[in-house]
A and B are shown apart, each in its own frame.
Chain A
Amino acid sequence: MKMKIYLKTIFTAGLLTGLVSLDACKKYETQPLDILTDSIVYDSKDKNGTYLQQRVVSLYLGLPNGFNRIDGLPLDAATDDAVASSYNATIEDLAKSRITANSNPDNNWNDAYNTIRNANNYLANELVVPIDPLTKTFYKAEVRFIRAISYFELIKRYGGVPLIGDKIYDGTEVINIPRNTYDECVQYIVSECDAIAGFLRPNDYSSNGELTGSNIGRISVGAAMALKARVLLYAASPLNNPNNDLTRWANAASAAKAIITGLTNLKLYTVAAGNLPAFANQFVVRGNNYESILGYQTAPNVNLEKANAPIGYVFTNNSRGVVSPTQDLVDAFPALNGRPITDPASGYDPANPYANRDPRLAYTVFLNGDNWLGRPVEAFEGGLDNPTNIKGATRTGYYERKFLGDFANASSYSNQQRSFPIFRYAEVLLNYAEAINEAGTGTNQTEAFNQLAAIRARAGITKGTTAGYQYGLKTTMTQAEMRTAIRNERRIEMAFEEQRFWDIRRWKIADVVGNSTLHGIKITKTGTTTFTYQTVNVDKLNFDPTKNYLYAIPLNEITSNPALRNQQNPGY
């Protein structure tokens, strides 16, 4: 009897144990096997380098892309060139200098260091991958370029920042490193540009050249040299060169000149297409675009047309007109003969303000009466593109047109091969003109004049026959006159290319420009094709010269990095 009970117990216990273990004997890997580890991505047997290429691609995503990037608006809407069509947009924090250490819509600190880490990760590991040596050489130089431009994106915002070289932190140490000086950062970026320039693709855009086909968009020798030229120009500028050390200007000039003389494949783009003159066509052409030195590539799209074209085209083409360029920008464009509109010789007629103007004007902003999608733009009060009962229509009487495709007579948008111009040849010419003009007097101004003349000629401004004038410019200018001419030419040639926001800072003119009142135009329709024009105030910029020339270092960097605690920029 007792035996039977024991047996039964053992049986039951066995049954129960079986129940418990039933599920436990199923087998799975104990650690996930699908994780792409270092040794898989950087594989010493990977001759094709598929993952290596993907690593390089990820670096390109760290390049600056300026299309409507701040809450849907371009950085230029924080300058005297444009305002947001909506009220109290986030970008007004920049336009009105409301930025603080913990509030800044253009805080790129983390993004830039993320790209730098990404580059260092690549550089530390790429050696083992046995791909074709030339490709690998290109890759490595491209990655170093992207790391260098990331530092430039930092120093134009914050001044000198900590340089970390090839260091990869592991997240457990206390990062305790002070800022390097602005000049040290400049030296680092320049030395990187010098070091890699020999290992990048040459700027050959011809039919079988290096920058054709699937290499379009790759970083080239020109990009490294253009970065160097721009960095040196910034370093020579009044903000960073308070004692006006002329050798800095000379260095900047020779860096720009080296491109002009050394990279002869680079030229101002001269191919017009459809309704677009060369000046506008260059922004939507990728193949054989010998002006483009480096652009941020995006898959062909109509995003910018939809965002920026006048709001009256919303019904069929969903256009929103989010940017309202100012009258001040429009007035900066000369007449067709190149003379400023304030010059009686310009032939400017305030009653017909858009006639006989610099051809670039109509391809930078939408003017009342310009053709778009088969009808004239109606920016007058109550017009289709400036309706009285609709919110978010233009505040200035203008919309931004720069970079848009050829849709003057089209019925709908089609995808555009557009890339955001990070560097283009016209900038190199303007950098050279500015640097050489500042570096000294005498033949320097002639050198500078030649650059402006080339740009104006391509723009379609008439050369004219008036003695002492070409393209509306005095052929013999003083250094100061030339400075004014160059600054205006930069403004109009490179409007909406994220130049002016930084230019007015490095020139140290933001205490004036950054506090100016911005204007728009009130256009009243008086007849079928007749209008009257009245300038109106639309907004007022705000800039505190005691602090706003640089951004505040983000608060989290001040608290988390002990070495930065006493290194906040002045005024913050």
Chain B
Amino acid sequence: MGLYSHIKMPGKMVCMLLGLSTISYNTQAQSKIKETDSLINQHPQIIKIKADSIAILYGQKSENKLNVAALGYLNGRALESTPNSFIFQGLTGRIAGLRTTQDSGIPGSDNVSLTLRGRSPAILVDGVPRDISELNPEQISSVTVLKDAISTVTLGQRSMNGAILITTRKGESNGPDYFNFNVKTQAGIQSPVVSRRYLNAFDYSTLYNEALANDGKAPLYTPADLQAYKDGSDPYLHPNVDWQKQIYKNNAGYSRTNLYADGKSKSLRYMLSMDYLDQGGLLNELDSNSYETNASYKRYILRSNINLQLTKTLEGYLNLYGRVNDTNAPAGGNLTAVTSELNITPNNAYPVYNPNGTLGGNINYSNNLWGRSTYNGYFQSLTREGFFDFGLKQSLDNLTKGLSIGGKLSFSSFTNLNTNRSKAFGVVNYSVDANGNPVYTTLSSANNQSNTSNVSASQQTSYAKFTANYNRRFNKNGITAFLTANSENYKNFVGDFLPRVLTNYAASLKYDFDKKYIIEGAAAYSGLNYYVDGQQYGFFPAVGLGWNINNEGFMKSVKFIDALKLRGSYGLTGSINAGNFDNQKGYVGGGNYPFGPSGSNLNSLVEGAIPFNNTWSQSLKTDVGLDASLLKNQLWVSFDYFLNKQSKLPITTGYDSGILGSTYPTSFIGKNDIKGIESEIGFTTNKTRKLVYSVAANFSTYQVKTIFNGEQTAGYQNLIRTGQYTNQNYGYIADGFVTTAGQGPVITGYASKPGDIKYKDLNGDNTIDYRDVTAIGKAKPIINYGLSSQFSYNKFCLSFLVQGLANTNEMLSGNTVFPFLNAPNGGISQAFPESLNRWTPQTANTATFPRLTIGGNPNNYAASSFWLRSTSYVRLKNIELGYNFSPKLLDKIKVKNIRLFVNGENLFTHSDFKIFDPEMPFSDYSILKVVNGGLSVTF
């Protein structure tokens, strides 16, 4: 039984207490549990919500009580209930200040982008900067979010954007030898959260005629046409194809299987994980194809972490990671290029198949969408990524107690290969001649398959690091210090880039008196080889202060407060702007121009961009925080206020006259301020009883204000963006509909008709142009929130996460919103149910859409308050129900644990914004709802 025995808590089953991510004080309930780094030791009943100390940069651990930084923390176990492909999808709504945005549901492309306090954070895996999110949750021990200056400043020119530090499991370091092995397999069904709705053929053609009539043009469809569209009596010449149903199916499969082991044997400890994931796509396929044309994503990840105590004082470790994944798509590889044709293909465009079985099409729509998605061949993309970290840690206690040195060398390699096996498919126009005989006219012919392949990415990064650490207490005086020198060398083999080398020298010193007063100072001297000689290095200092108020004598009498700490940090952080030797002036190839009768092309050479010196951007960050723990550590609260004054941001001067005759060089003189607050609150029961539960909530909000952007506005007040928030929307202010032809104000030169949108004429010149553009609505700080909770009763446990965004807006535009826009080949794009409520003389008072027109209407489709929509939403992001078999039963079959679980992702969404998913408007391939179930067996 080994270690396993002592984490069994007598008489109760606590379930995965997830999402309680504040760094605060340990609860009583958990303090009895030993710190572990084994997935399985914590499995199945107890999950530590928080650790006493958490991983921070350069292999350091931050003891909560002595922490002065703004940190976020998530136990790796919390990621396990998310049935998705990318690790950061599990962070949504879990950590205050961290926002995720998913803009596609396409398998392999459905990763989220991360925003931390308005910037895109650096990702580090076990301390090494890595741009990776293909990590299965089982290998992850914890996620630390480093938000302020003092926590990241030692990253030098990588410190400005905050950082996310992922720590992988290494196996248990203390205690007796053990071995655990877990098999987990799960499978689920994915379906779109929101599908765009389109008009049927009858509505489409009726509105089309109306749009023509609105512009005084003759109808395109006769009453007989309309009737045929309505009754479906003539499916070949008057088709009504639901293209969405034709190319999309309702759901697709998802499965993931993980083999996991960790253990300890004498001086060796290790973690091994093997993961296979298969995510299907939502495209329908053709049975007659021997190959797959649907989108799919299949991935293997192998991870091995081995630590070996070489001598009593020397420890070595080797972390290996390997990944192979295959992505499939219809030919061309760009699935969006196929699905976005839904927006330019009306239901009445052409039949899928003609009566003779050929693919349908016509002059305007000659690229049969079903042909495009199934008859066009396929595209495979193969990604290989591998890395290793090798390091040594030498304790120098013999020299001076508390001193150690370490070195690490890391290589990573990334390659992406594509093979496109495409073939042309034939499209035939079907019509009937005057005598009723069918006429088939070939629009395009089928062709043999042709294959192309290429290497689309090939990169190698090496990272080397030396560190010296010193940790010691002298009675009431505590010292933690480290020094580091590290260097990251990035080579991109596709393109003509020179290796990019970022070198960092950094030091940190923390001192506390009696764990009551804490001061920490850190600094980095950091340089990038791409900058001009002599201007490559920057100096980035930071300081942090902490005061554990409850350790003061006067707080002794306040019994309900277990911990109370005021902390703050202040420092200068930086972010690289690498470019590619933009300080060099060079000539580059331009277009060709032919002289002579046959027009043999001559090459040309044009002056390249005007050179400029790249440099880093910087942010002067202030963070003030308060942490408290109350009611015998059952309840804790954390609050942060931050102000990041960013400067040296890349901008183009407002004096960018075209008379220069070239693109203006970038100047690093932009400034803005990011200001915000974050708060987390959590409660967990600590009583020994049958029902155990916890609740945690986080709330964060911020706004970015433009302080200096170099703009020149020539006295046009409405064009000034300085001093405004960057999430402010601008446009015209819609002011009802035109009621009589020629009425205004409307766009300059536009001949208005009843049903057109009128705008507010702000400068009183009776016409609408850029001088009438203004801020629409008040830019409110975007609010990001999450609420998670867990309940454990008997052998059951239930957890859920509700997450949302508020104060977000979107300006509707483009061919996924406006009907009848011009499409290629003289075609006209789709139309949507919102257009049914268009302005007509009868609906003048209730219309929510202007009168219909063909083509891009320069007046009605301009950016204005008419099209601004709130995209605030709240979602049941995740829910999981688990059941653990009784230990009595398990002992009989020599199995440590069996767990059954079902979980769901994105099951319910509430938003006033209904036509798209509010997180990803205008996209064709929706993000997915997932219902998933599985079994986990531990031996």
**A residues with CB within 8 A of B:** 5, 9, 12-13, 15-17, 19-24, 26, 28-32, 34-38, 40-41, 51, 53-55, 57-58, 60-61, 85-90, 92-93, 96-103, 109-110, 113-118, 120-121, 162, 164, 169-172, 174-175, 177, 213-218, 286-287, 297-300, 311, 314-316, 320-322, 387-393, 417, 540, 542, 544, 554-561, 565
B931 to chain A, nearest CB (A): 43
Query: Is B855 positioned at the interface, with any CB of A under 8 Å from its CB?
Result: yes
Inter-chain contact B590/A58, CB cutoff 8 Å? yes
Measured between C-beta atoms, what is the minimum distance from B611 to chain A in Å?
9
B716 / chain A contacts, CB cutoff of 8 Å:
559
Choose from A16, A109, A322 the contact partner of B405 (Cβ within 8 Å): A16
Q: Is the CB of A23 within 8 A of B658?
A: no
Within the complex, which residue of B394, B595, B610, B665 is in contact with A214, where a contact is CB–CB below 8 Å? B595
Which residues from B are CB-within-8-Å of A300? Answer: 598-599
Contacts A15-B392, A390-B826, A392-B825: A113 and B660 contacting too (C-beta < 8 A)? yes
Looking at B21-29, B462-470, B882-890, the stretch in contact with chain A turns out to be: B462-470
- Pairs A–B under 8 Å by Cβ, sample size 15: A16-B394, A16-B407, A19-B392, A19-B464, A32-B581, A37-B586, A87-B855, A93-B749, A114-B661, A177-B659, A215-B595, A286-B599, A299-B599, A314-B366, A560-B655
**Chain B interfacial positions (CB closer than 8 Å to A):** 215, 217, 220-221, 225, 314, 362-364, 366, 390, 392, 394, 396, 398-399, 405-409, 429, 441-443, 462, 464-466, 485-487, 489, 496, 498-499, 529, 533, 580-581, 584-588, 590-607, 610, 612, 654-662, 664-665, 711-716, 719, 747-751, 769-770, 822, 825-828, 853-858
Q: How far is the CB of A16 from chain B (nearest CB, A)?
A: 3
Check A391–B605 contact: CB distance below 8 A. no
Complex-state Cα separation, A12 to B489, whole angstroms: 24
Closest 5 CB pairs of A and B: A392-B826, A88-B855, A117-B661, A16-B407, A98-B749
- Please give, as numbers and ranges, the residues of chain A lying within 8 Å of B485 by CB-CB distance: 20
CB–CB A93/B858 < 8 A: yes
Chain B residues within 8 Å of A109, by CB: 658
User: In the complex, which residues of chain B have a beta carbon less than 8 angstroms from the beta carbon of A218?
Assistant: 595
Shortest CB distance A285–B (Å): 9
Contacting pair A32 B748 (CB below 8 A): no
**Chain B residues within an 8 Å CB radius of A172:** 665
Measured between beta carbons, the chain B residues less than 8 angstroms from A103 are 769-770
Report which of A5, A164, A417 forms a contact with B659, defined as CB distance below 8 A: A164
Chain A residues closer than 8 Å to B770, beta-carbon distance? 100-103, 555
Judging by beta carbons under 8 Å apart, are B595 and A216 in contact? Answer: yes
Given contacts A23-B487, A88-B857, A556-B656, is CB(A54)–CB(B407) below 8 Å? no
Q: Does A88 lie within 8 Å of B854, measured CB to CB? A: yes
Contacts A216-B596, A560-B656 aside, 8 further interface pairs with beta carbons under 8 A come to A40-B587, A85-B826, A88-B855, A89-B822, A92-B858, A117-B607, A297-B594, A557-B658
In the complex, how many angstroms separate the beta carbon of A45 from the nearest chain B beta carbon? 17
Distance, CA A174 to CA B364, complexed state (A): 50
A267 and B750 alpha carbons, distance in the complex (Å)? 46
**Is the CB–CB distance between A561 and B657 below 8 Å?**
yes
Point out the residues of chain A lying under 8 angstroms from B711, CB to CB. Answer: 559
Choice from B442, B665, B749 contacting A97 with Cβ under 8 Å: B749
Contact across chains for B822 and A60 when beta carbons are under 8 A apart: no
Closest to B859 in A: A98
- Chain B nearest Cβ from A156, distance in angstroms: 17
CB neighbours of A110 from chain B (8 A): 658, 661
Q: Are A560 and B654 in contact (CB under 8 A)?
A: yes
B855 to chain A, nearest CB (A): 3
Q: Please, how many angstroms separate the alpha-carbon atoms of A435 and B770 in the complex?
A: 41
Residues in chain B near residue A540, CB distance under 8 A? 751
- B655 / chain A contacts, CB cutoff of 8 Å: 174-175, 560-561
Cα–Cα, bound, A420→B600 (Å): 17
A118:B598 contact, CB within 8 angstroms: no
Which residue of chain A lies nearest to B595 when distances are taken between CB atoms in the complex?
A217
Known pairs A12-B394, A28-B498, A172-B665; A315 contacts B584 (CB<8 A): no
Closest A residue to B365 by CB, please name it.
A391
A87→B217 contact, CB < 8 A:
yes
Q: Out of A57, A287, A391, A555, which one reaches B826, CB within 8 Å?
A: A391
Which residues of B sit under 8 angstroms from A287, Cβ to Cβ? 597
Q: How far is the CA of A88 from the CA of B529 in the complex (A)?
A: 52
| Known contacts A98-B750, A217-B594; is-contact A391 B660 (Cβ 8 Å) | no
In the complex the two chains form, is A23's CB within 8 Å of B596's CB? no
A520 to chain B, nearest CB (A): 11
Q: Are A559 and B660 in contact (CB under 8 A)?
A: no
CA distance A554 to B658 in the complex (A): 9
Contact of A23 among B314, B462, B712 (CB under 8 A): B462
C-alpha gap A434/B712 in the complex (Å): 45
Cα–Cα, bound, A383→B592 (Å): 41
Known: A9-B399, A54-B603, A555-B770. A36 touches B591 (CB 8 A): no
| Contact of B581 with A58 in the complex, beta carbons under 8 Å | no
Give chain A residues whose Cβ lies under 8 Å from the Cβ of B857.
88
Report if A559-B597 is in contact (Cβ < 8 Å); known contacts: A31-B581, A87-B854, A87-B855.
no
**Residues of the A chain whose Cβ atoms lie less than 8 Å from the Cβ of B221:** 389
Residues on A with C-beta less than 8 A from B661 are: 110, 113-118, 120, 169
CB-CB nearest in chain B for A544: B749
CB proximity of A518 to chain B, nearest CB, Å: 13
Contacts known (A41-B587, A53-B602); A286 close to B597, Cβ less than 8 A: yes
User: Chain B residues with Cβ under 8 A from A23's Cβ?
Assistant: 409, 462, 464, 487, 489
**Most chain B beta-carbon neighbours within 10 Å: one of A89, A98, A171, A297:** A171
> Can you name the residue of chain A whose Cβ is closest to the Cβ of B346?
A391
Q: Is the CB of B603 within 8 A of A57?
A: yes
Which residues of chain B have C-beta atoms less than 8 A from A115's C-beta?
661
Kindly list chain A residues whose C-beta atoms are within 8 Å of the C-beta of B215.
87
Which residues from chain B contact A85 at a C-beta distance below 8 Å? 826
Contacts of A114 in B (CB 8 A): 658, 661-662
Cα separation A417 to B596 with both chains bound (whole Å): 10
The answer to whether A565 and B715 touch across the interface, beta carbons within 8 angstroms, is yes
Contacts of A19 in B (CB 8 A): 390, 392, 407-409, 464, 466
Instruction: From A21, A86, A171, give the contact of B660 (CB < 8 A).
Output: A171
Give the distance in Å from the alpha carbon of A64 to the alpha carbon of B452 in the complex: 37
- If A28-B499, A217-B596, A300-B598 touch, does A389 touch B858 (CB 8 Å cutoff)? no
Q: Is the CB of A557 within 8 A of B657?
A: yes
When distances are taken between beta carbons in the complex, the residues of chain A under 8 Å from B713 are: 559
Give CA–CA (A98, B748) in the complex, Å.
6
**Residues of chain B contacted by A31 (CB below 8 angstroms):** 498, 581, 584
- Rounded to whole angstroms, the CA-CA distance of A26 and B466 in the bound complex is 18
Docked complex Cα distance between A311 and B366 (Å): 13
Residues on A with C-beta less than 8 A from B751 are: 96, 540, 542
Q: Taking CB as reference atom, which chain B residue is nearest A173?
A: B655
Beta-carbon contact of B220 and A391 below 8 Å: yes
Say yes or no: A213-B596 contact (C-beta < 8 A), given A23-B409, A117-B660: yes
The CA-CA distance from A92 to B750 in the complex, in Å, is 10
Residues in chain B near residue A213, CB distance under 8 A:
596-597
CB distance from A541 to the nearest CB of B (A): 11
Residue of A nearest to B487 (CB): A24
Residue of B nearest to A1 (CB): B398
Distance, CA A5 to CA B595, complexed state (A) = 80
| Contact of A88 with B822 in the complex, beta carbons under 8 Å | yes
Residue of A nearest to B749 (CB): A98
CB atoms of A61 and B443 under 8 A apart? no
**Which listed residue, A51, A121, A388, touches B220 by the CB 8 Å rule?**
A388
> In the complex the two chains form, is A559's CB within 8 Å of B714's CB?
yes
Give the shortest distance, in Å, between B239 (CB) and chain A (any CB). 12
Contacts of B585 in A (CB 8 A): 35, 37-38
Among B220, B489, B714, contact of A565 (Cβ-Cβ < 8 Å)? B714
Q: CA–CA, A297 to B593, complex, Å?
A: 7
B596 → A minimal CB distance (Å): 4
Which residue from chain A places its CB closest to the CB of B587 in the assembled complex? A36
Q: Give chain A nearest CB distance to B61 CB in angstroms.
A: 21
User: CA A417 – CA B598 in complex, angstroms?
Assistant: 7
